[in-house]
């Protein structure tokens, strides 16, 4: 038997599924807020519909169809057209991602609180996919689709013992007008800075007059950045191998500058630690790693990049680049460097560190531009890959925001240098949203159109 979505029989069945879902119970163990889900009025649902969920520490205590006044009892009200809810409840669209992209509107409540509970939201949706559901205006109940609607592409072998030709000797030569080649030329022009040339004399004097709590913040941020740079230096190689094997010569040439720059970033932060901090404080910096940091840098990043060694398919490339370029570089590093740089500039502190971060930010913007290009061409070549990207980004959102949250936790309400957690969160989420929006356009483009656009823009 199937139930029409957002009706009382559907709500009863949904509640039953939520309460059976042990993963939801675990993920939502601290959640104590009623949530209302609203369907916008449309020809298929003329008056709209509203569902009030009484969610309490992993339990769904009640699920009721209510009127507008009834939905006001909720702490959070989420509203979307029926088509969008269909995407979500069929497992084709991530709920938090849809919220960030503005496809689901938050009429009441705070965005951060929802984003921090992305796993619980996902489990709630998973519970709904277990309810036999049909949608208003549909004659027949649709079958529940598989969680991942995209079949993985057949693995492409990395084996290549010989070659048939040399690309650059052909009539096309090197494609200097392509985006990767333009980024390669930019990298040679402006990315040639030497971390050893940075003057840390004033930084040493600044460091000596800062207090213990201020030292702690700078050490923590530096340790996280240095660890991040080491990770990206180590993990880029499988992607280089993959594009080289596909004969993408210009991309491979750009990636040689990419790896060189990541190595310099790592060198830069370590030099600051050795030459400015020094002494026992510069001892074991691993103490600053938190659970979400380890999840991203010890598991997700090496996992997604290393997977390319055995599965270099477009879907695997997309998961790798989403993790590396969109989340680690495009959300975490960019947010961290932006916030850190702004703080040092405002307080006129540590000019050597600030100078290096300014140079490094420019390098990172080329890396991210390449990632956007790669993801855009992958999605344009196979539009069915878009849900793979959405799902990957949705999975990484919570640990990524968790890294920012755990960075501020030790300082309570009094964060040294007046750093504000919400500023970082807001910047991270707007980067995340902007990047997804940019790549989403590829869903209606052909690879040739992407190529032309990239050539024009670079
Ligand atoms: Fe870097
Ligand atoms: Fe980078």
What are the respective helix, strand and coil percentages of the chain, to the nearest 5? 65, 10, 25
> 25 is in which domain, residue-wise?
3-134
> Does one domain contain both 128 and 192?
no
Centre of ligand 2 to C-alpha 229, Å, is 8
Tell me what percent of the residues of the chain surpass a pLDDT of 70: 94
CB 158 within 8 A of CB 309: yes
Q: Residue 397's pLDDT band (boundaries 50, 70, 90)?
A: confident
What does the pLDDT read at residue 8? 83
Centre of ligand 2 to C-alpha 380, Å, is 24
Q: Is residue 50 part of a domain?
A: yes
Q: Which residues surround ligand 2, an ion (CB under 5 A)?
A: 329, 364, 367
Centre of ligand 1 to C-alpha 367, Å, is 8
Centre of ligand 1 to C-alpha 218, Å, is 18
> Does one domain contain both 291 and 393?
yes
What does the pLDDT read at residue 369? 94
- Distance, in Å, from the CA atom of 353 to the CA atom of 342, rounded to the nearest integer, reads 12
Centre of ligand 1 to C-alpha 232, Å, is 7
pLDDT at 193 over 90: yes
Q: Is residue 197 part of a domain?
A: yes
What does the pLDDT read at residue 161? 61
pLDDT at 454 over 80: no
> Does one domain contain both 109 and 206?
no
> Does one domain contain both 246 and 363?
yes
Domain end, chosen from 77, 109, 134, is at 134
Average pLDDT on 12-21 reads 86
Centre of ligand 1 to C-alpha 303, Å, is 19
Bridge partner list, 76: 35
What does the pLDDT read at residue 146? 45
Q: Which ligand is nearest to the CA of 329?
A: 2
Long-range pairs for 405-410: beta carbons < 8 A, 24 or more residues apart: 405/116, 405/292, 406/290, 406/291, 406/292, 406/293, 407/220, 407/221, 407/224, 407/290, 410/216, 410/220
Give residue-wise pLDDT tens across range 119-175.
888 888 888 888 888 888 776 665 544 444 444 444 455 555 677 788 889 888 999
What does the pLDDT read at residue 120? 86
Q: Which ligand is nearest to the CA of 365?
A: 2
Q: Is residue 65 part of a domain?
A: yes
Q: Residue 446's pLDDT band (boundaries 50, 70, 90)?
A: confident
> Does one domain contain both 342 and 202?
yes
Report the CATH number at residue 360: 1.10.620.20
Q: Is residue 153 part of a domain?
A: no
Q: Which of 124-128, 289-293, 294-298, 389-393 has the lowest mean pLDDT?
A: 124-128
CB 435 within 8 A of CB 330: yes
Q: Is residue 244 part of a domain?
A: yes
Question: Strand 3-4 to strand 133-134: parallel, antiparallel, or no bridges (unpaired)?
Answer: parallel
> Does one domain contain both 209 and 129?
no
Centre of ligand 2 to C-alpha 233, Å, is 8
Centre of ligand 1 to C-alpha 175, Å, is 26
Q: Is residue 84 part of a domain?
A: yes
Q: Is residue 53 part of a domain?
A: yes
Centre of ligand 2 to C-alpha 66, Å, is 49
> Does one domain contain both 247 and 391?
yes
Centre of ligand 1 to C-alpha 85, Å, is 38
What does the pLDDT read at residue 148? 47
> Does one domain contain both 306 and 387?
yes
> Does one domain contain both 281 and 342?
yes
- Distance, in Å, from the CA atom of 75 to the CA atom of 440, rounded to the nearest integer, reads 31
Domain end, chosen from 86, 116, 134, is at 134
Give residue-wise pLDDT tens across range 329-341.
999 999 999 989 9
What does the pLDDT read at residue 158? 55
What does the pLDDT read at residue 447? 83
Centre of ligand 1 to C-alpha 48, Å, is 48
What does the pLDDT read at residue 357? 97
Centre of ligand 1 to C-alpha 234, Å, is 11
Centre of ligand 2 to C-alpha 397, Å, is 19
> Does one domain contain both 212 and 298?
yes
What does the pLDDT read at residue 458? 52
Which tokens belong to 267? 């060198």
Domain end, chosen from 134, 156, 183, is at 134
Centre of ligand 2 to C-alpha 357, Å, is 12
Centre of ligand 1 to C-alpha 262, Å, is 4
Report the CATH number at residue 59: 3.30.1050.10
Centre of ligand 2 to C-alpha 362, Å, is 10
> Does one domain contain both 77 and 125?
yes
Give residue-wise pLDDT tens across range 345-386.
999 999 999 999 999 999 999 999 999 999 999 999 999 999
Give residue-wise pLDDT tens across range 215-237.
999 999 999 999 999 999 999 99
Centre of ligand 1 to C-alpha 431, Å, is 17
Which tokens belong to 388? 């793979």
270 exposure class (CB count in 10 Å sphere: 0-12, 13-18, 19+):
middle
> Does one domain contain both 124 and 179?
no
Centre of ligand 1 to C-alpha 360, Å, is 7
Give residue-wise pLDDT tens across range 353-362.
999 999 999 9
Give residue-wise pLDDT tens across range 228-287.
999 999 999 999 999 999 999 999 999 999 999 999 999 999 999 999 998 888 888 999
Q: Is residue 154 part of a domain?
A: no
Domain count, the chain: 2
């Amino acid at each position: 038997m199937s139930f029409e979505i957002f009706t009382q029989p559907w709500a009863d069945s949904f509640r039953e599924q939520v309460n059976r879902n042990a993963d939801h119970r675990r993920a939502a163990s601290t959640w104590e807020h009623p949530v209302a889900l609203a369907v916008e009025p449309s020809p298929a649902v003329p008056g709209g519909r509203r569902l009030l969920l009484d969610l309490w520490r992993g339990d769904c205590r009640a699920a009721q169809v209510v009127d507008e006044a009834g939905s006001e009892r909720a702490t959070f009200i989420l509203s979307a057209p029926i088509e969008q809810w269909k995407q979500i409840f069929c497992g084709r669209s991530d709920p938090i991602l849809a919220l960030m992209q503005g496809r689901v509107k938050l009429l009441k409540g705070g965005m951060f609180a929802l984003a921090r509970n992305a796993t619980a939201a996902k489990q709630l949706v998973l519970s709904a996919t277990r309810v036999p559901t049909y949608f208003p205006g549909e004659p027949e109940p649709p079958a529940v689709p598989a969680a991942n609607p995209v079949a993985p592409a057949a693995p492409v072998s990395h084996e290549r013992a010989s070659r048939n030709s040399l690309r650059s000797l052909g009539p096309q030569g090197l494609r200097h007008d392509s985006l990767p080649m333009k980024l390669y030329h930019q990298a040679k022009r402006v990315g040639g800075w030497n971390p050893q040339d940075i003057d840390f004399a004033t930084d040493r004097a600044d460091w000596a007059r800062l207090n213990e709590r201020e030292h702690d913040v700078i050490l923590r941020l530096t340790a996280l950045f240095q660890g991040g740079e080491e990770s990206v230096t180590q993990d880029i190689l499988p992607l280089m191998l993959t594009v080289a094997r596909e004969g993408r010569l210009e991309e491979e040439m750009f990636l040689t500058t990419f790896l060189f720059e990541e190595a310099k970033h790592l060198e830069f932060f370590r030099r600051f630690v050795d030459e400015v901090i020094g002494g026992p404080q510069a001892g074991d910096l691993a103490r600053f790693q938190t659970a979400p940091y380890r999840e991203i840098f010890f598991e997700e990043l090496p996992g997604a990049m290393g997977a390319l060694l055995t599965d270099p398919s477009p879907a695997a490339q997309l998961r790798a680049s989403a993790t590396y370029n969109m989340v680690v570089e495009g959300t975490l590093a960019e947010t961290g460097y932006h916030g850190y740089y702004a703080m040092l500039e405002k307080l006129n502190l540590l000019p050597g560190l600030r100078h290096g971060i300014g140079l490094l930010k420019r390098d990172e913007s080329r890396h991210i531009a390449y990632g956007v290009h790669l993801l855009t061409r992958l999605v344009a070549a196979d539009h069915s890959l878009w849900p793979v990207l959405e799902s990957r980004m949705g999975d990484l959102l919570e640990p990524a925001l968790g890294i920012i949250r755990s960075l501020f936790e030790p300082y309570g309400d009094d964060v040294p240098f007046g750093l504000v957690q919400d500023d970082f969160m807001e910047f991270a989420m707007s980067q995340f949203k902007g990047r997804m929006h940019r790549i989403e356009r590829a869903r209606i483009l052909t690879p040739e159109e992407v190529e032309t656009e990239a050539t024009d823009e670079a």
